[in-house]
Chains A and B, each alone.
Chain A
Amino acid sequence: MKIQLAFTTALVVVLACFVARPSMADDSLYGDLGQKDGIAKIVDAATTNFLADTRISATFSDTNISRFKGLLVSQLCVVAGGPCEYKGQSMHDAHKGLHLTNADFNALVEDLQRGMDTAGVPFRVQNRLLARLAPMHQDVVTR
């Protein structure tokens, strides 16, 4: 019993140590997402989902979609450590008038996740990208 307990505790500790590495802002994620072509596929699929999602589609009613896609590609490219430059507004400025809720943010995440599924991005790679996007929550959710 004590051995089993020790084993389980050790497992928890080892896992905790394994995960407690600082995430590197290197470009391996950019490669794992399929570089610029892969990111463009993700953005295409995700944008289709955003526009079809009745929870959030109204947010895009005044949006120039092709410009939006271009900005999102360059932003995800930068976030993934790729050789791009994002020339759009800051996340805070881009979302300040939209009054998005926490649920809206999560709807965007779910649509992005399904877009990454469509683009064939493995689940673990999806999570590495989402981990870098998650802190934007505080700039996007203003209600």
Chain B
Amino acid sequence: MLNHKTAIACVALLCMAWPAGAMADDGAPPSNANNNSLFDSASGMFDEGKLLATGGVSTVEGSGGGGITTWALISGYGTRDGVGLNAHFTYIDLPDYAFWSPGVAIDLYDRVELSYAYQTFDTEHVGAELGLGDGYSFHQNVWGAKVKLFGDAVYDQDSWLPQVAVGAQYKQNDRSSLIHAIGGKSADGIDYYVAATKLFLAESVLVDATLRETKANQFGILGFGGNLNDSYSTEFEGSAAYLFSRNFAVGAEVRTKPSNLGIAQEDDAWDVFAAYFLNKNLSLTVAYADLGNIVIKDHQQGVYLSLQGGI
């Protein structure tokens, strides 16, 4: 299942993240800061000044959040005076399919997040059953932009106000003719969302609720709109995580999805996850995800792995 490209991308990501990540201890101050460096935490652009884990991790769509839910947090570790850059690789092993996605995100002044992910959905043997050929794959570009509007999920501990952000994701699928053949209306589409995230620090709990306007079928892998419905639906994403330490959080997520295609009922998705932050340069998320029915196969539950490295 894990083909060569996937393995290469994994190794490349590890190589990128490891030199910076392996040595540093979380929260340990730099012992010999170079004042002229772009990477100097005191005065550089890449200030890595946010607290550990407060940028979240990378979603399957490349935006900052959990695994399948997008949060209002701005990805990465740049403060309001700095910027950050991160890359991730996500792999989901389902009983009848496989999904993987490398992606990158840049965070600007803890205000704006720009992201890109390149998703591959491998139909494995189902491709042959459907007459498409064994290992038939869908590919999708996902370009994302998110802007924090108000509130601070971390500092505003004396207020009920969450951090609120709005964003959009432009998704472009490479299987236009097949998508139209199965009843889809378009191979590209734009999702719009508003996300509210709050860290209840005294309780060591983080909660997010997100509303998404979307036409996407299976996150856009099966196109946008369909013969049953071709208008936008309002969908819900929610997650809650408990922080066991500064490095380790465990939580659950749920995401509702429209069911626009006549060929198959589309189910909602959920997962339970554990995220481990080695330091600000490297984090690993492991989840058990249930994506429900996908085309002719029910019960698509499997393991989700995601590695994020950044500066």
Contacts and interface: CB of A to CB of B under 8 A. Distances in A.
A5 to B, nearest CB: 5
Given A12-B240, A19-B200, A106 B51 contact: yes
Contacts of B155: 134-135, 137-138
Given A55-B30, A111-B29, A11 B157 contact: no
A41 B69 CA distance: 41
B154 A134 contact: yes
B204 A103 contact: no
A52 B29 contact: yes
B254 A54 contact: no
A125 to B, nearest CB: 10
A101 B207 CA distance: 27
A118 interface: no
A109 to B, nearest CB: 6
Report whether over half of chain B's contact residues are helix, strand or loop; otherwise say mixed: loop
B201 interface: yes
Contacts of A52: 29
B71 to A, nearest CB: 13
Contacts of B252: 8, 11-12
Contact of A19 (B205, B270, B292): B205
B268 A1 contact: yes
A114 B245 CA distance: 12
A23 B204 contact: no
Contacts of B202: 23, 127-128, 131-132
Interface in A35-86: 49, 52-56
B3 interface: no
Contacts of B201: 127-128, 130-131, 134
A117 to B, nearest CB: 9
A12 B27 contact: no
Nearest to B40: A55
A76 to B, nearest CB: 15
Contacts, number: 123
A105 B49 CA distance: 9
Interface in B16-75: 27-33, 41-42, 47-52
Interface string A108-130: 01110110000000011001101
A106 B204 CA distance: 18
B157 A113 contact: no
Nearest to B47: A103
Contact of B79 (A101, A124, A128): A101
Interface residues of B, number: 50
A110 B28 CA distance: 8
A12 B292 contact: no
B298 to A, nearest CB: 9
A49 B29 contact: yes
B254 A8 contact: yes
Contacts of A20: 160, 200
Nearest to B245: A123
Contact of B207 (A16, A53, A54, A107): A16
Contact of A103 (B79, B242, B245): B79
Contacts of A90: none
Interface in B84-117: 110
A102 B79 contact: yes
Nearest to A138: B155
Contacts of B156: 134-135
Nearest to A6: B254
20 contacts: A11-B252, A54-B32, A55-B33, A103-B79, A103-B81, A106-B50, A111-B27, A113-B246, A123-B204, A123-B244, A124-B204, A127-B201, A127-B203, A131-B201, A132-B202, A134-B154, A134-B157, A134-B158, A134-B201, A138-B155
